[in-house]
Amino acid sequence: MTIQMDKDLRFIFEVLPSFGTRYPNLVMAYCCLFGVTPFQIKAKKLRLIMEEMKRLFDAQAFTYQKKTYEISHAGIADALDLCIKKNFEQHLENHNYLKKVMIGISEREGKDKSRQDEKDLRKREAGLVKRESDHFSEVQVKANLERVGSIIKSIGG
């Protein structure tokens, strides 16, 4: 059991840097909501929770009720912060509350991304229309010069 706990603790301390400099404290505080800390006998449970959190941060997506949601690191951090600040009467048993919080954040981020994508598309379209109008005017100028040149040749000849 000591060997397994050492392995679990080693994993826990090795994985913390993978959350960057901003998020390890949120992840650890969230893990404590499950009633585990690195120095209690529940090191294996903490390791499992940390593995799940690492997968969440790496994928920037989660599944809830057979639907997959995309979420940014900042969105995950916001959800963790909300969970940490909520006063639970009992320890958490699973990530369902976190997932429900993340659904709202994910949907908000999706709407924001859609709006930004639409703005970017309009900007690109405006640029293309401007370039096309510039291009057409050059073509029209060239065509007009050719017509004028052919008219002059026909008059002179």
pLDDT the model gives residue 77: 93
Q: Compute the distance between CA of residue 57 and CA of residue 102 in angstroms, rounded to an integer.
A: 12
Q: Distance from first CA to last CA of the chain, Å, rounded?
A: 106
Cα atoms found within 13 Å of the Cα of residue 122, Cβ hemisphere only: 6
The domain ranges of the chain are 2-114
pLDDT the model gives residue 62: 93
pLDDT the model gives residue 138: 73
pLDDT the model gives residue 127: 75
In Å, what is the CA distance from 102 to each residue of 28, 35, 53, 68, 92? Answer: 18, 21, 13, 11, 16
83-112 tens-digit pLDDT? 999 988 888 888 999 999 999 999 999 898
Determine if the pTM surpasses 0.85.
no
pLDDT the model gives residue 2: 54
Q: 91 in helix, strand or coil? A: coil
pLDDT the model gives residue 104: 94
pLDDT the model gives residue 149: 81
Cα atoms found within 13 Å of the Cα of residue 40, Cβ hemisphere only: 10
Q: Show the low-confidence residues of the chain (pLDDT under 70).
A: 1-5, 37-41, 129-137, 157
